[in-house]
Amino acid sequence: MTNTTLDIEALRDAAGAATDFLRTLANPDRLMLLCQLSGGERCVSDLENETGIPQPTLSQQLAVLRREDLVVTRREGKQIYYRIADPKVLAMLDQLQQLFCPED
């Protein structure tokens, strides 16, 4: 006899972890920020210029990315530099680029 309850619970656990991750990416501002950071480290003013995201939103959304450990920071003088800290982000950005940015 096969107990499917465990399978469902395992599926639900994995689904929970995956959806936490997906929800963090599922915002245009945050996704754009991660796209920029996939090209390497950026300080906040770089990100502001490159994306046009207004400062308070930028700060709020960077805080979300930090809280979820998708990025880490380092201070250099006045500037704070951000970079991607979770390799899953890069894998997912690749996948999204294949699906939503054909040939570029």
Partner DNA sequence: CAAACAATATATATTTATATATATTGTTTT
Partner DNA sequence: AAAACAATATATATAAATATATATTGTTTG
Residues lying near DNA in the complex (CB under 7 A): 23, 26-27, 29, 43-45, 48, 54-60, 62-64, 73, 75, 77-80
Decide which of DNA, its own copies, none touches 12; Cβ closer than 5 to 8 Å per partner kind. its own copies
Decide which of DNA, its own copies, none touches 14; Cβ closer than 5 to 8 Å per partner kind. its own copies
Q: At what angle do helices 28-38 and 87-100 cross, to 10 degrees?
A: 110
Sheet with 79-84, edge to edge strand ranges: 42-43, 79-84, 71-76
Cβ neighbours of residue 27 closer than 8 Å, sequence gap 6 or more: 61, 64
Establish if 90 lies at the interface with its own copies (CB under 8 A). Answer: no
- Minimum gap (Å) between residue 10 Cβ and DNA: 18
β-bridge partners, 32:
none
Interacting residues with its own copies (CB under 8 A): 4, 8, 11-12, 14-19, 21-23, 25-28, 31-32, 35, 50-52, 88, 91-92, 95-96, 98-101
